[in-house]
Amino acid sequence: MSIAAHRRGARRILTLAVPAVLAGLSALAAAVPALAADAARAQEIVSGKCFICHGADGESSSPVFPRLAGQHSAYIARQLADYKSGRRRSSAMQPMVDDLNAADFAALGAYFAARPTHAHPVEDSDLAAMGRFIFARGNPYSGVAACAGCHGANGHGTETLPRLAGQHAQYTENQLRQFNKRERTNDNAVMHAVAAKLTELEMKAVAAYISGLK
């Protein structure tokens, strides 16, 4: 192929590529203000409501309230929507979400998902050692399924299943009890079957182990 032909080919490629690149840059430029607006809205809601229980960065100081830092954005948004619809019931949370909408839920999900996670010391290492076995392998003698089967070997979960790593042991234990008694009114089908087979010791052990995951 001649040099002239190469040049003509290069010009044709540029003719096709430049508009596509410009369109992509234009779309990106248009998205930036929207993302900034979502972040500002999330910060406004967190500063007005969420920080009271969950902390400004999702690192709640009380084991009664879940740590939200690093939690999957879609999971947070879905839980907030469930609180608003009544699918998940909580006398504390429902008043907090009554005046929020789906866009607010998505913004809050993105906000907390972006917060850094931290390693937390385990209070009882012997108890956590037992929990490690249950988390990774379940209890084959009683039919308890391994937590890692759904939530991952490191407890990081997915967009549809929650991140467990680093969660307050007391909060995890409370949720397992609620699933066991069917007091947790969403996400109940699978988790009830799991929690119903856990003994009191197993609940405490797996919760202790989860609390120390990073």
Residue range 107-122: mean pLDDT, rounded:
96
Instruction: Say yes or no to pLDDT of 89 above 70.
Output: yes
Model pLDDT, residue 35: 73
DSSP letter for each residue of 156-192? ---SSS---TT--HHHHHHHHHHHHHT-S-SSHHHHH
**Is this prediction's pTM over 0.85?**
no
Among 118-122, 132-136, 189-193, name the most confident range: 132-136
Q: Which domains does the chain have, with CATH numbers?
A: 3-113 (1.10.760.10), 125-211 (1.10.760.10)
Contact 159/75 with Cβ under 8 angstroms? yes
Q: What are phi and psi of 139, to 5 degrees?
A: -125, 95
Average pLDDT (167-172) is 98
Percent of the chain with pLDDT over 90: 81
The 10s digit of each residue's pLDDT in 129-165 is 999 999 999 999 999 999 999 999 999 999 999 999 9
pLDDT digits (tens, 9 = 90+) for 31-64: 556 778 899 999 999 999 999 999 999 999 899 9
Average of per-residue pLDDT across 16-30 = 54
CA distances from 5 to 8, 9, 10, 12 (A): 5, 6, 9, 11
What are the pLDDT digits (tens) for 73-86? 999 999 999 999 99
Separation between Cα atoms, residue 47 and residue 55, nearest integer Å:
9
**pLDDT score for 133:** 98
pLDDT of 28 higher than 50:
no
Chain segment 123-135, per-residue pLDDT in tens: 999 999 999 999 9
Q: How much is the pLDDT for 8?
A: 60
